[in-house]
Amino acid sequence: MSAAARVLERLHRVKQTGPGRWIGSCPAHEDTSPSLSIREIDDRVLLHDFGGCETDDVLAALGLSLSDLFDRPLAPHIGPTASRIPAADVLLALDHEICVASLLIEDGMRQRLSESDRDRLALAGGRIKSGINYTRGLR
């Protein structure tokens, strides 16, 4: 089943307005006049509610997810997220840099840094460490 068919079969008061274009009642709000624009482009569906509902809200009301708007899964992303450097190594490098920056800030501003700011800085450091442990599977 195509992405457009998945969406269209769940909508009410749908009217085709052109090739690959429809308008229907938005399921995310009380729609007295159809306000949801549905458009099929290159094996994907674009939704826009002129009543102001977000796409996530429309999809939730239809019982669908963002992936249901595509006929097939997207190709793997090629770019920074496809790096060969393990996430744990990246986080370790960031942890080191953040620690260095934190120490410099605290040393340079010791008189101006309040106790609550120091506590918040310590909390941030703890959260970074937790993230590193998580990527290592140490939870």
Burial of 98 (0-12, 13-18, 19+ CB in 10 A): middle
Do 2 and 11 contact (CB within 8 A), yes or no?
Answer: no
pLDDT recorded at residue 91: 73
**pTM for this prediction:** 0.53
Half-sphere exposure of 46 toward its Cβ, with a 13 Å CA cutoff? 8
Distance separating alpha carbons of residues 20 and 109, to the nearest angstrom: 61
Domain ranges for the chain, please list them: 3-69, 80-135
**pLDDT tens digits, one per residue of 61-89:** 999 999 899 988 766 655 554 445 677 77
Give 42 or 125, the one with higher predicted confidence.
Answer: 42
